[in-house]
Amino acid sequence: MIYDTILSLVQQYHHIGIISHFRPDGDATGSTLALGLALENMGKAVSMWNEDAVPARYAFLEGSDKISSLPEVTPPELELLICVDTGDWKRLGDRATVLFAGFPRIINIDHHGTNTCYGHENLVEGDSAACGFVLYNMLRHWGCEITPAIANALYTAISTDTGSFQYSSTTPELMQAAAALLAAGVDVGDINRRIYQEIPLSTLMVNREVLNHMVVECNGMLSHYSMPAGRKAELGIGPEDTKDLVDIIRTVQGVRVSVIFEDLEDGRIRMSLRSKDPQISVADIASQFGGGGHAMAAGIRMKGELEDVRTRVLAAIREQLNTK
């Protein structure tokens, strides 16, 4: 079993690195922390990295200060690299892919159905709601103690990637795992308040921007918003403030697909896509442009001008809406 294969590798090595995708979300952050803390409890020397900082909304998690920026060179003592919640090698970020290029022992643990299986060992459960759920099952199989700190990290990972247990990926088994995490020490009221009920004023301001400039078309089935280059500076906001914008416009009644276009000012456009209709897979749409993800939630990063990229991607979405 792959759980046992990974455990065997973990037992062989002492210095282990854990990394997840750039612009980490709750699943990426929680998965990194949960696995890192568990390995530390096993006596391992663990380094946790990300190309971007831990989002402020998840900084309350115990151990979040251990997730550091990438080193300048590959640490000579590093023996094993574990990538979590990252469907494609390039999603680790430009620096990370160069830093760890050719590293001989890479484990890939993920839940994205479009995962490219870039690791030397791959634990990919494409039907799992969150990487945190994959890790929960793996750590239980290993017989690891789920401490309160690990439970909080896993709960954050699972809750955020299921929309606080609202998405169709929520299963009885997932709810049983959540119950077990509560029993292990999660204060559900406190953690949900921190994640869902407190946002910076800057985020509220950008939410207003989106609501004022969103477009609804295709007889109300498609909603989208575009943030051109320089607009973030004008609004005084950072990358973290734009992370969940697509969830604002997807709530419009009648909308089946939503997409946010963000000009990153480095020659690339970032897109977040969401579907509310099981018949329309945004992962399939994203794959046409080098992106990926899940049927109901996917992303794309591609080079190009905002207007051109938007025209091409919206055309692909409209085609899906007109045929489904």
Among 147, 174, 196, the domain boundary falls at 196
Nearest to 139 by CA among 34, 45, 62, 33: 34
Max CA pair span of the chain:
58
The tens digit of pLDDT for each residue in 189-212 reads: 999 999 999 888 888 889 999 999
In contact, 47 and 180? CB cutoff 8 Å = no
Among 196, 212, 235, the domain boundary falls at 196
Residues 226 and 97 occupy one common structural domain: no
Residues 172 and 206 occupy one common structural domain: no
pLDDT at 324 over 80: no
Residues 169 and 240 occupy one common structural domain: no
Residues 207 and 254 occupy one common structural domain: yes
Task: Please report the sign of the dihedral spanned by the C-alpha atoms of residue 64, residue 113, residue 267, residue 221.
Answer: negative
Q: What residues make up the domain containing 212?
A: 201-323
pLDDT at 168 over 90: no
pLDDT of residue 42: 98
pLDDT at 300 over 80: yes
Mean pLDDT of 63-74: 96
Nearest to 173 by CA among 143, 129, 126: 129
Residues 187 and 213 occupy one common structural domain: no
Residues 163 and 212 occupy one common structural domain: no
- pLDDT band at residue 238, thresholds of 50, 70 and 90? confident
Domains in the chain, number: 2
Residues 109 and 189 occupy one common structural domain: yes
pLDDT at 239 over 80: no
pLDDT at 126 over 80: yes
Q: What is the pTM of this model?
A: 0.86
Q: Give the domain CATH number at 300.
A: 3.10.310.30
pLDDT at 65 over 90: yes
Among 196, 217, 234, the domain boundary falls at 196
pLDDT of residue 242: 84
